[in-house]
Every structure is written in C-alpha cells, then in structure tokens.
C-alpha cells in the first residue's frame, strides 16, 4: 500500500504444490474491499521476493531463516516416489529406500527435500527442475522422490507414485519479514489458523455499543433489588412445589396435635 489514500491490498506469494484456494476464498468473503494478489514463485526465490517487498507474505517451504522472517508452521507433507506405472514398486503400498537400490534416483536442482544420503544410484547429471525430472521418469531414465503435492502437480497418466518411508519430509509455513507485519498479514494469519470472523485474537476489534462492552465499561451490572433476587425466586419456587398451587397437601404446619 502506497500513500495514505491508497486502497489497501494484500500480496501473497506461494511456492509450487501449495494450494491456497481455501484461504483465498475465506479472505474474499471477509475482506471484499481488500484485493488479494497471488503470485507463484519457485521455492528458492520466495525469500528474496519477501525481503524485496514484492509480496507481503508467502506460503513457503521450510526451513525459514528466523533471523529475518517470522513464520507459522502449517503442515508437513508425505514424501512419495514417482515411477512409471509398470515399475516393480507399484506392487506394494509403501516403498522403503532399499527398494530403490537398483534405480537411478533423479535429484533436480530445485529439490525441496533435505537429503543426507539419496537412495538408489545417482544420475550422470542433475535435472534443472522437478518438471524436467518428471519428463525423465516418463522416459524411463529413473525415478523421482518429491513431496506428495509436487507429484500431484506434475501428474501424468503414464506415471504413478507410492509413499516412501524413512525419507526426509517437507513442511509448509506462512512467512513474512519480521519487521514488516501489516494489518493484512495479521488478518491472513487469523484465516490460516482457523479463527472465526468474530475472534478476539489478532487485530483489535472496535468496541461493541449498547451490549456487554458497555456493561463492562460502566462496571458490574446492577444488582437486583432486595427481595427480588434470583435466589429469592428460586426459594419461592421450592415452597410452591411442583403443582404451583401453594404448599404441598401433606404440609401439616400450624395444626394442633391431638392429645392422647
């Protein structure tokens, strides 16, 4: 937002595989007068975009540099191996790293998984992008390990995927520059955290007129007059009994006892 008279807006960056549709829909319902601009950026370029002021916040992959960014972890994805449909591992429901020992496991330059040791055999060259690696899998050159959302993003009819256990996982977070938290960022934080529109957390809400806010401001509510308290009414109800027609029939108070 530039200038005091400028229309407020919210610019959100997101990395491939992340689907912000639900949060965007809620934003548009709650803030129809504040346009939200979405921009997809490569995972490796997200930090630079936020620090450069091109986006107010971003849905990014961890790790996040906490010395310059504030971040809220959102979810962790399942890791899968992408293979041709006739690959041997399609016969099982879950794959172990040792099952890929004889395969070339492609390692694209934009890989978002933090590997200590990649399973399988290395390729002669690293593909430039995940999209390029998927094309090589389809050509029978090797297999590819990615977060589930990227496998779905690059889905092909001739490929499938299986969960890979004991593999690194990728998490997604909402991040923004630590010294540039705007009202719009605070509103979006509330949305991704599932706060309702009436939540008292987050941005300060204006006081409610004529309701409980006024009662709180003026002090405690007035006490009922003596003899008209809720407790008094309750006691009266007990004396009346269930029928509501005076004392119970078996009440013998006030009658003299017969002498023997």
Greatest distance between any 2 Cα atoms in the chain:
118
Closest of 13, 7, 72 to residue 45, by C-alpha: 13
- Which residues make Cβ contacts (< 8 Å) with residue 188, sequence separation at least 6? 10, 12, 23, 27, 57, 174
Question: What's the average model confidence in pLDDT over 67-81?
Answer: 96
- Which residues make Cβ contacts (< 8 Å) with residue 143, sequence separation at least 6? 81, 82, 83, 87, 100, 103, 104, 105, 106, 120, 137
Closest of 5, 37, 77 to residue 188, by C-alpha: 37
Q: Is the pLDDT of residue 232 over 50?
A: no
What proportion of the chain, given as a percentage, has pLDDT over 90? 71
Two structure tokens written together for 134: 């998927």
Instruction: Provide, for the chain, the percentages of residues in helix, strand and coil under a 3-state DSSP scheme, each rounded to the nearest 5.
Output: 25, 20, 55
CA angle 230, 235, 238 (to 5 degrees): 130
Question: What DSSP element (H or E) covers 27?
Answer: helix 21-30
Residue 109 and residue 225: Cα distance in Å, rounded? 78
- Residue 196's pLDDT band, with cuts at 50, 70 and 90, is confident
From the CB of residue 6, how many other CB atoms can be counted at a distance below 10 Å? 8
CA angle 150, 153, 154 (to 5 degrees): 90
Phi, psi dihedrals of residue 129, rounded to the nearest 5° = -135, 165
Two structure tokens written together for 108: 């694209």
Q: Is the pLDDT of residue 211 over 50?
A: no
- Residue 222's pLDDT band, with cuts at 50, 70 and 90, is very low
pLDDT in tens, 168-189: 999 999 999 999 899 999 999 9
What confidence score (pLDDT) does residue 186 get? 95
pLDDT in tens, 88-128: 999 999 999 999 999 999 999 999 999 999 999 999 999 99
**Which of 17-21, 93-97, 217-221 comes out lowest in average pLDDT?**
217-221
What confidence score (pLDDT) does residue 205 get? 45
Mean pLDDT of the chain: 83
SS3 79: strand
What confidence score (pLDDT) does residue 34 get? 95
What confidence score (pLDDT) does residue 198 get? 73
pLDDT in tens, 132-172: 999 999 999 999 999 999 999 999 999 999 999 999 999 99
Two structure tokens written together for 156: 């092909």
Q: Is the pLDDT of residue 244 over 50?
A: no
């Amino acid at each position: 937002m530039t200038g005091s008279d400028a229309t407020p807006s919210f610019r959100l960056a997101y990395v491939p595989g992340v689907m912000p549709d639900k949060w965007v829909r809620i934003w548009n319902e709650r803030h129809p007068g504040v346009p939200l601009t979405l921009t997809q950026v490569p995972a490796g370029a997200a930090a630079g975009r936020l620090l450069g002021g091109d986006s107010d916040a971003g849905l990014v992959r961890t790790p996040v540099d906490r010395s310059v960014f504030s971040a809220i972890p959102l979810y962790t994805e399942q890791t899968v191996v992408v293979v041709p449909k006739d690959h041997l591992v399609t016969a099982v429901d879950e794959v172990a790293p040792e099952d890929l020992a004889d395969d070339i496991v492609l390692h694209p330059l934009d890989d978002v998984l933090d590997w200590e040791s990649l399973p399988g055999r290395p390729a002669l060259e690293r593909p430039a992008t995940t999209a390029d690696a998927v094309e090589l899998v389809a050509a029978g050159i090797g297999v590819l390990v990615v977060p589930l959302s990227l496998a779905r993003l690059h889905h092909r009819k001739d490929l499938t995927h299986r969960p890979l256990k004991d593999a690194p996982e990728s998490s997604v977070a909402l991040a923004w520059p630590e010294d540039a938290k705007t009202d719009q960022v605070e509103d979006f934080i509330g949305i991704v955290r599932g706060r309702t529109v009436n939540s008292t957390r987050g941005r300060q809400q204006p006081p409610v007129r004529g309701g409980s806010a006024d009662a709180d401001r003026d002090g405690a509510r007035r006490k009922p007059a003596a003899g008209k308290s809720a407790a008094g009414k309750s006691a009266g109800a007990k004396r009346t009994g269930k029928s509501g027609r005076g004392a119970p029939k078996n009440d013998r108070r006030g009658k003299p006892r017969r002498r023997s």
